[in-house]
Amino acid sequence: MDISIVIPAFNESQKIKYDVEVAASFICDAQLQGEIIVVDDGSTDNTSEAARNAKISSSVKRIIIRLWKNSGKGLAVKTGIKETQGDVVLFADSGTCIPYSNAKSIIKRIRSGNLDLAHASRRLKVTKILKDRAFKRKLLAWLFHQAAVWVAGLSRKITDSQCGFKLYKGEVARKLFEECVITGYLFDLEILLRAIKLGYRIEEFPVEWSCDLDSRLRPGPDAPEVLKDLFKLRAIIKKLR
C-alpha cells in the first residue's frame, strides 16, 4: 500500500462525502495504491453514512470507523492511524482546506527515504492564504504558539504545529501515535515534540490554504482543556529527556 489518508470527522455530514471523493481522486490521479480511513468521532448526524455514499474508484480502499461517543480529535486520528497500511500516512482535516496536490513532492521525498515527517504551515512566507481566519482566531493561534514554546518547549523553528495536514513515513506514524497520550486538539503538538526528541527528520512545507469557517474548534469553550493539556504535555515531554 502506497498511501493511507486518515480523515477524522465529527458532525461533518455536509462535507465528508466531498472530502472522501477528493482524496480518492488524488490517489488515482497520482497513480498510487491507497486507502482512505474516515474516523467518525461519535457524530450525532449521518457523517458515517455520507462517507459511505461517496463515489470513489473501486481501486481505492475505503474504511469507515465509528466511535460511539465523541472522544476527541486526537483519539480519532490515533484510531485511524492504527489501522493504516500505507508506506506514507497523510492526516487531513475534514473540509479540504488544502488541496491534496500540495502533498505530491512531500510524498515522493518520504517514499524515497529522505524525510520522516512533514507538516503544512500557514505561516511560511510562500504559503498562499486564499481565505483567512478572523482576526480573533489569528490572535488566539499566535498566543497558543507562544504558549507551546514557553510551556511545552516547542522549538521556535516550528512556525505552525496545528495545521491539519500532515504526512509521515508509515512506520513512523504508527510508532508515534501508538505512544500518543493527548486525546484532544493538542495531539499534533505531542506527536511533533516526540518526533523531535527521537531525532526524526521533520520539515514544514508551504501550501494553499482556505479557512474552514465551520471549524469544530471553539476557542472560548475549549480554552481550559487546551491549557490543561499544555501542562500535561510538558510533563510528558520531560519524562522523555
Higher pLDDT, 155 or 29: 29
| pLDDT over threshold 80, residue 221 | no
- Which contiguous run of DSSP H or E holds residue 91? strand 88-92
| pLDDT over threshold 80, residue 50 | yes
Which CATH number fits the domain that encloses residue 185?
A: 3.90.550.10
Residue 238 lies in a domain: no
3-9, strands of its sheet edge to edge? 61-67, 34-41, 3-9, 88-92, 165-169, 117-121, 202-206
Report residue 24's pLDDT band, with 50, 70 and 90 as the boundaries. very high
Structurally, how many domains does the chain consist of? 1
DSSP letters spanning 5-29: EEEEESS-TTTHHHHHHHHHHHHHH
Residue 222 lies in a domain: no
List, for residues 155-186, the tens digit of each pLDDT value.
888 999 999 999 999 999 999 999 999 999 89
Domain span including residue 21: 3-132+159-214
CA 236, CA 182: separation in Å to the nearest integer?
10
List, for residues 179-209, the tens digit of each pLDDT value.
999 999 899 999 999 999 999 999 999 999 9
pTM (two decimals): 0.93
Percent of the chain at pLDDT exceeding 70: 96
pLDDT at 227: 82
Residue 112 lies in a domain: yes
